[in-house]
């Protein structure tokens, strides 16, 4: 028998009962009473506009849609292997409960690649069901094996003595139900067990995650249910601390484990902090207490593994340290070990949240979600924000003239576009889907490498010297993006015994010559690095050492270094120049310009040596 815990909802939830009071309902952050709109924070502005709309559609839910707003209206969408889409949500049932109120059924909708309805299914159970997540399944869990149907998770109201149980519902490719399984606390107890996200594991089974108020620590605990391919329970586990903790997302990882994302009130510094949990295949935590954020709330709704085996997550933040007005879209990057690399607020509205995030081929990211009041529109709009690998916005698609919509799920499509699902603002309870075109974003036209001392693609260094290179991608829409640190920018040295390079950081190791190459977006750029042996400057010579010029005239001073190996080099551009006395002239890399009548002393320093010239301006 499990212990009964008092339900203590988190601050972004509301405790509401539909009909005559039988169901506990999670209300999204987007349905909280709006905070007053303030001026937009001074965040980086996207440098391009995003791709245009390919198509958008609304779908009427059977029987008029779900009885209540909140979770019940939140559709989940995924592209299927035939290029179409599968959408799971909830709608009113033809069945009524003992009080005469209509029940809620799981609703599954299949469309083709253009959003045209192919089929739809209702799953009429005796209970009140809310679908939260759907995924296409394969025969044995491997991505390359044949697809065989869909898996749905959510939660169901059980009876008047209890609240919710997590469910898993599996169908074939036509949506015909194969089985439905329920998980959670025993009958007769007041409990709340919910499934918010599901994924298929590499052995063909499933992992569903969400929260339970019946965990060993009380309050809301992260709840995970692991089953075999037939829905038989393998294990169920609870994670978190002594306060409320929930997860809304789960993704597979390269090591056959799982990454979960949500929020924690048990760990971190804010009231709610972004929360990541890394599990191995057996459900054992590989990280402990990985909380992220600042002084206010951060909540994650999606997390994915990245090409460097780290993780990218998105959600929403209210912390002023991240330059957010009320709520801003939150983007978090961590390493493979769960250590924070960076966190940013990336959207331009006044009350925004990211619901899905994908890594793009160039190493950057696209966040999909909802934004409020973009361009002072006063409405909720679908949000698509593209960033570079460091989280700096590149483009954002503006829907401020297209009506008010909430978005709750999305992904990148096989044609390079993006798909998102939500519902229109108001009480229509329809499902809304918007598809952005693929291939419309700019492509890389050329790549440029810059750094101190580079001339005609060549640079000279001494052993032990370092050089910072910057790789700039020039796109065919005339925009330029710094891609130096992008995971998609590959850096190579032709001879690592002479020169090493890491994300543009060049180090001279030994005497010799090597080529350093950057590759990005199918373009390459190379510089030649010559490393001199272990020699020092023995003499520095400045010519001329004195000169008389007129106001407005210029003259050139040249610094020549003689090394201990008796080699010489013109180091005028590398030397440090200073007008030591007087203000009659200015100097730039040895070029002197007469400003006013008078005298000036100029020094040039290089390799620990300093030389002087005197200039008279008449």
CA distance 127 to 105: 8
Q: 435, 433, 423: which is closest to 28 by C-alpha?
A: 423
- Percent of the chain surpassing pLDDT 90: 56
- Tokens matching residue 511: 């005497």
Closest by alpha carbon to 3, among 157, 218, 166?
218
Q: What is the pLDDT of residues 126-170, one digit of tens each?
A: 778 899 999 999 988 888 889 999 999 999 887 655 578 899 999
Long-range (24+ apart) CB contacts under 8 A made by 583-592 are: 584/615, 584/616, 584/617, 585/615, 585/617, 587/557, 590/556, 590/557, 590/558, 590/559, 591/554, 591/555, 591/556, 591/557, 592/547, 592/549, 592/554, 592/555, 592/556, 592/557
| pLDDT attached to residue 476 | 76
Digit-coded pLDDT (tens) for 199-238? 999 999 999 999 998 766 667 899 999 999 999 999 999 9
The CB density around residue 400, as the number of other CB atoms within 10 Å, is: 16
Spell out the residues 6+ positions from residue 186 whose beta carbon is closer than 8 angstroms to its own: 1, 2
Residue ranges and CATH numbers for the domains of the chain are 29-436 (2.130.10.10), 444-532 (2.60.40.1080), 537-617 (2.60.40.10)
C-alpha torsion angle, residues 406, 387, 250, 177 (rounded to 10): 50
**Phi, psi dihedrals of residue 615, rounded to the nearest 5°:** -120, 135
Least confident among 23-37, 256-270, 398-412: 23-37
Kindly state the tokens that stand for 485.
């640190």
Q: How many residues does the chain have?
A: 618
Q: What's the pLDDT at 320? A: 84
User: CA-CA distance, 275 to 263, in Å (whole number)?
Assistant: 5
* Residues 295-327 as b or e (16 or more Cβ within 10 Å = b): ebbbbbbbbbbbeeebbbbbbbbbbeebebbbb
User: Is the per-residue pLDDT at 324 higher than 60?
Assistant: no
pLDDT at 441: 66
Greatest mean pLDDT among 16-20, 132-136, 479-483, 521-525 = 132-136
DSSP E strand boundaries for 26-127: 48-49, 53-59, 76-79, 85-96, 102-111, 117-123
- Over the stretch 511-549, which tens digit does the pLDDT of each residue have? 889 999 998 877 899 999 999 876 688 899 999 999 999
Rounded CA separation 579/576 (Å)? 10
The stretch 410-434 carries a mean pLDDT of: 87
Model's pTM, two decimal places? 0.69
How far is residue 439's CA from residue 26's CA, in Å, rounded to a whole number?
38
What does the mean pLDDT of the chain come to?
84
Residue 31 has pLDDT above 70, yes or no: no
Lowest mean pLDDT among 16-30, 413-427, 530-544: 16-30
Helix or strand holding residue 558 (H, E)? strand 558-563
Whether residue 417 has a cis bond before it, omega within 30° of 0: no
Query: If DSSP codes are grouped into helix, strand and coil, which group holds residue 49?
Result: strand
Q: Which of 45, 149, 169, 55 is nearest to 107 (CA)?
A: 169
Residue 38: C-alpha distances to residues 45, 328, 351 (Å): 17, 12, 10
Q: Are 238 and 217 contacting, i.e. CB atoms less than 8 angstroms apart?
A: yes
- Select from 440, 369, 374 the least CA-distant residue to 407: 369
In angstroms, the CA 563 to CA 279 distance is 59
Residue 556: CB atoms within 10 A of its CB come to: 12
pLDDT at 245 over 80: yes
What is the Cα–Cα distance from 532 to 537, expressed in whole angstroms? 12
For residue 598, pLDDT beyond 70: yes
pLDDT of residue 236: 94
pLDDT at 278 over 70: yes
Backbone angles phi, psi at 371, to 5 degrees: -130, 145
Least confident range from 31-40, 176-185, 458-467: namely 31-40
What is the Cα–Cα distance from 309 to 78, expressed in whole angstroms? 23
CA distances for 149 relative to 288, 396, 411, 441, angstroms: 35, 34, 19, 33
Does the pLDDT of residue 399 top 90, yes or no? Answer: no
pLDDT in tens, 92-119: 877 776 667 777 889 999 999 999 999 9
Query: Residue 507 to residues 114, 469, 503, 607: CA-CA distances in angstroms?
Result: 52, 11, 12, 18
Residues 224 and 240: beta-carbon distance below 8 Å:
no
Q: Which residues pair with 470 in a beta bridge?
A: 450
Query: What is the reported pLDDT for 374?
Result: 63
Q: Give the pLDDT confidence score for residue 30 in this predicted structure.
A: 34
Check residue 44 and give its pLDDT. Answer: 44
Distances (CA, A) of 234 to 125, 206, 226, 447: 24, 10, 5, 52
Output 428 or 451, whichever has higher pLDDT: 451
Ramachandran bin of 293, using left for φ above 0, alpha for ψ from -120 to 50, beta for the remaining angles: left
pLDDT: which is higher, 510 or 185: 510
Q: Please state, as a whole number, how many other Cβ atoms lie within 10 Å of the Cβ of residue 546.
A: 9
Segment among 4-8, 147-151, 243-247, 267-271 with least mean pLDDT: 4-8
What is the tally of helices (H) and strands (E) in the chain? 0, 49
Give residue 487's pLDDT: 61
pLDDT at 18 over 80: no
Of 28 and 36, more confident: 28
Q: Are 484 and 471 in contact (CB under 8 A)?
A: yes
Tokens describing residue 154:
């959510």
Cα separation, 298 vs 54, in Å, equals: 33
The arithmetic mean of pLDDT across residues 498-513, rounded, is: 92
Q: Is the dihedral of CA 157, 162, 166, 172 positive or negative?
A: negative
Query: For residue 103, what pLDDT is reported?
Result: 78
Residue 445, token pair as written in the block: 């036209």
Angle at 56 between CA 436 and CA 251, to 5 degrees: 60
Strands 546-549 and 609-617: parallel
**Residue appearing with tokens 């750094």:** 451
Q: Which SS3 state, helix, strand or coil, does residue 160 take?
A: coil
């Amino acid at each position: 028998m499990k212990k009964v815990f008092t339900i203590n909802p988190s601050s972004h939830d509301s405790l509401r009962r539909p009909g005559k009071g039988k169901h506990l309902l999670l209300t999204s952050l987007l349905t909280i009473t709006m905070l007053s709109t303030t001026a937009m924070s001074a965040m980086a502005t996207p440098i391009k506009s995003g791709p245009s709309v390919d198509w958008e559609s609304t779908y009427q839910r059977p029987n008029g849609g779900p009885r209540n707003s909140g979770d019940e209206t939140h559709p989940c969408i995924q592209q299927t292997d035939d290029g179409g889409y599968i959408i799971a949500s909830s709608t009113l049932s033809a069945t009524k409960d003992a009080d005469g109120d209509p029940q809620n059924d799981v609703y599954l909708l299949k469309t083709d690649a253009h959003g045209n309805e192919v089929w739809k299914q209702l799953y009429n159970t005796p209970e009140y069901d809310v679908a939260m997540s759907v995924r296409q399944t394969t025969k044995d869990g491997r991505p390359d094996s044949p697809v065989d149907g869909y898996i749905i998770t959510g939660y169901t109201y059980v009876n008047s003595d209890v609240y919710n149980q997590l469910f898993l519902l599996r169908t074939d490719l036509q949506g015909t139900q194969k089985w439905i399984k329920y998980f959670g606390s025993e009958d007769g107890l007041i409990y709340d067990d919910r499934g918010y996200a599901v994924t298929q594991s590499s052995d063909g089974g499933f992992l569903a995650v969400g929260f339970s108020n019946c965990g060993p620590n009380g309050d809301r605990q992260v709840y995970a249910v692991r089953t075999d391919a037939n829905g038989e329970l393998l294990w169920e586990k609870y994670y978190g601390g002594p306060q409320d903790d929930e997860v809304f997302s789960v993704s597979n990882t390269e090591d056959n484990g799982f990454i979960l994302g949500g929020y924690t009130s048990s760990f971190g510094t804010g009231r709610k902090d972004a929360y990541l949990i890394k599990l191995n295949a057996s459900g054992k935590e590989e990280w402990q207490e990985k909380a992220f954020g600042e002084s206010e709330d951060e909540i994650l709704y999606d997390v994915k593994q990245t090409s460097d085996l780290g993780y990218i997550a998105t959600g929403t933040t209210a912390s002023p340290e991240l330059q957010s007005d009320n709520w801003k879209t939150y983007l978090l990057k961590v390493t493979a070990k769960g250590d924070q690399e960076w966190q940013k607020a990336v959207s331009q509205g006044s009350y925004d949240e990211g619901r899905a995030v994908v890594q793009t081929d160039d190493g950057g990211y696209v966040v999909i979600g909802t934004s409020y009041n973009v361009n002072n529109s006063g409405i909720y709009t679908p949000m698509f924000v593209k960033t570079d690998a460091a989280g700096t916005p590149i483009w954002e698609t503006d829907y401020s003239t297209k009506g008010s919509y909430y978005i709750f799920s999305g992904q990148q499509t096989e044609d390079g576009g993006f798909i998102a699902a939500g519902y229109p603002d108001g009480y229509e309870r329809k499902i809304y889907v918007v598809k952005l075109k693929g291939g419309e974003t700019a492509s890389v036209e050329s790549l440029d490498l810059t750094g101190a001392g580079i001339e005609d693609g060549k640079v000279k260094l001494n052993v032990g010297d370092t050089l910072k290179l910057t790789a700039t991608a020039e796109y065919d829409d005339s925009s330029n993006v710094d891609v130096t640190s992008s995971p998609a920018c590959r850096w190579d040295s032709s001879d690592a015994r002479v020169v090493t390079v890491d994300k543009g950081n060049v180090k001279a190791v030994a005497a010799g010559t090597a080529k350093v190459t950057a590759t990005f977006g199918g373009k390459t750029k190379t510089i030649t690095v010559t490393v001199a042996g272990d020699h020092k400057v023995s003499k520095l010579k400045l010519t001329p050492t004195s000169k008389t010029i007129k106001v407005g005239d210029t003259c050139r001073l040249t610094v020549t270094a003689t090394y201990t190996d008796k080699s010489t080099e013109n180091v005028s551009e590398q030397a440090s120049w200073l007008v030591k006395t007087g203000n009659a002239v200015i100097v730039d890399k040895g070029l002197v310009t007469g400003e006013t009548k008078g005298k000036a002393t100029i020094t040039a320093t290089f390799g620990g040596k300093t030389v002087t010239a005197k200039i008279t301006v008449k």
